[in-house]
Amino acid sequence: MSSETSLRPTIFDESPQQQTPDALMLYGFWYRALPSDRVHRNQLVPAMLLETPLVIGRDPQGRPFALLDACPHRGMPLSCGRFDGAQVECSYHGWRFNAHSGQCTAIPSLTSDQRLRIDRIYAGNFGCEERDDFIWVYIPELSPAGAGTTRRQEAEVSAPRVPTFSDKYKLAYLTSDLPCSVDHGIIGLMDPAHGPFVHQAWWWRTRESIHEKQKAFEPIPYGFRMSAHTPSSNSAPYKLLKLYADADSITTTIDFTLPNMRWETIRAGKYWFSSLTTVTPITRSRCRIDVVAAWNLFRWLPFAPELLKFVFAKFVEQDRRTMELQSEGLKHNPHLMLIDDADRPAKWYFGLKQAWLEMRRNGGEFRHPMDGPVTLKWRS
């Protein structure tokens, strides 16, 4: 192990031979780039995703676009240039590119008798869609994406969206930078054992409320599901919810799917709450957590969204602070371990990642790390 050159520690299973693909970033997926409200019409905003510098903009009709933030001529960031509502002009030699396709439309230095086929030149450009208050960008496997003279690789599916279960609902988001690799961000998110120690609050739960739990998991395409169940009886908000919704039962489903998505759905009678949380790699050592939640609970209570946001913000801040402290410990590449059963979801995550990479390398089937449904036990 070249511990000096690597910023990332290697996570070992119980057997030290078994290395995980720590901090590898998965290409060929949609990623959340920026909250929608950070990108105004006729503006250029730089953003970084999977160590790929991007410039995100929005045309006068409100449609977003994403280009590689490096001019295909001599690399000037296009975010330093100008956008006239249709074309982006590089600030260095004035080359112009169609904002949505990246195709070159003008090279001012050319004389009338010079026959360079400028329409064959493209600025790197990416699939870009807006969903639930976020601008998503498709990061293809072939890079640089469309830079130079190739067109972009289109996504086979459209960007994910938060599931909703009625026509009217509220939507809110939260975003926070995490000073760790995407893997630590993700396994921190799915780790059940940190709850009693990190997320203490009088209105939620106390450290003394720790008790044995048993949860059913099952494989789903490119991920796993914690099957529907009545959530922890030891938390006050759930008791309240059950009372309020006058529901016989509350069901919660939590899914994780590659590359970085945690889907949570809570349903109680006609009321529902749903969220899609993503942990997005910015660089190899930095990531960002974005939570987008939709709900029809408490819709008429004016302060409810603020309350919900406050609760979520508190949790996310507790996680962020924990990871900040953890990153200190990780600086010197300590050996780490994942234990059963509490860290089994983390093991599945690494298994899923490996299976995905293998499938992409060798073709063939996706070899899911789970054989079938399994019940895990832990105390939290």
Q: Where along the sequence are the contacts to ligand FES (CB under 6 A)?
A: 71, 73-74, 76, 90, 92-93, 95
Given Fe ion, ligand FES, none, residue 65, with its beta carbon under 5 to 8 Å by kind, binds none
Q: How far is the CB of 126 from ligand FES (least distance, A)?
A: 18
Residue 41 vs 73, nearer CB to ligand FES: 73
Give the residue with the Cβ less far from ligand FES, 88 or 294.
88
Task: Please name the residues in contact with 160: beta carbons below 8 A apart, sequence gap of 6 or more.
Answer: 30, 131, 136, 261, 276
Q: Which is nearer to Fe ion, 38 or 199 (CB)?
A: 199
Note whether 39 and 55 are within 8 A (CB): no
Q: With CB cut-offs between 5 and 8 Å by kind, which of Fe ion, ligand FES, none does residue 76 bind?
A: ligand FES
Residue 74 or residue 120: which is nearer to ligand FES going by CB? 74
User: Given its phi and psi angles, is residue 328 left (phi above 0), alpha (psi -120 to 50 degrees) or beta?
Assistant: alpha
How near is the Cβ of 69 to Fe ion at its closest, in Å? Answer: 33
Shortest spacing between CB 11 and Fe ion, in angstroms: 18
Give the torsion sign (CA, 88, 91, 94, 95). Answer: negative
CB of 77 to ligand FES, least distance (A): 9
In the sheet with 44-49, reading across from the earlier edge strand, the strands are 44-49, 52-58, 64-68, 125-126
**To the nearest whole angstrom, how small is the minimum distance from the Cβ of residue 316 to ligand FES?**
39
Which residue has the closest beta carbon to Fe ion?
319
Q: Is 343 in the site for Fe ion (CB under 5 A)?
A: no
CB atoms within 10 A of CB 112: 5
What is the Cα–Cα distance from 367 to 347, expressed in whole angstroms?
14
Residue 158 structure tokens: 């459209």
Residue 74 interacting partner from ligand FES, Fe ion, none (CB closer than 5 to 8 Å by kind): ligand FES
Which residues 313-342 are close enough to bind Fe ion by CB under 5 A? Answer: 319
Give Cα 372 to chain centroid, integer Å: 26
Residue type, 43: Q
Task: Give whichever of 97 and 295 is closer to ligand FES, judged by the CB atom.
Answer: 97
Pick the closest to residue 274 from 163, 356, 113 (CA basis).
Answer: 163
Cα 363 from chain centroid (whole Å): 25
Which lies closer to ligand FES via its Cβ, residue 61 or residue 114?
114
Residue 319 contacts which entry, ligand FES, Fe ion, none (Cβ below 5-8 A, type-dependent) = Fe ion
Taking CA 183 as the corner, what is the angle to CA 333 and CA 50, rounded to the nearest 5 degrees?
105
In the complex with ligand FES, the residue whose CB is nearer, 95 or 173, is: 95
Residue 76 CB, shortest distance to ligand FES, in Å, is 4
38 neighbors 367 (Cβ within 8 angstroms): no
Work out what residue 73 binds among ligand FES, Fe ion, none; the CB cut-off runs from 5 to 8 Å by kind.
ligand FES
The label of the residue with tokens 């050592």 reads: 285
**Residues in the chain, how many?**
380
- Positions in the binding site for Fe ion (CB under 5 A): 319
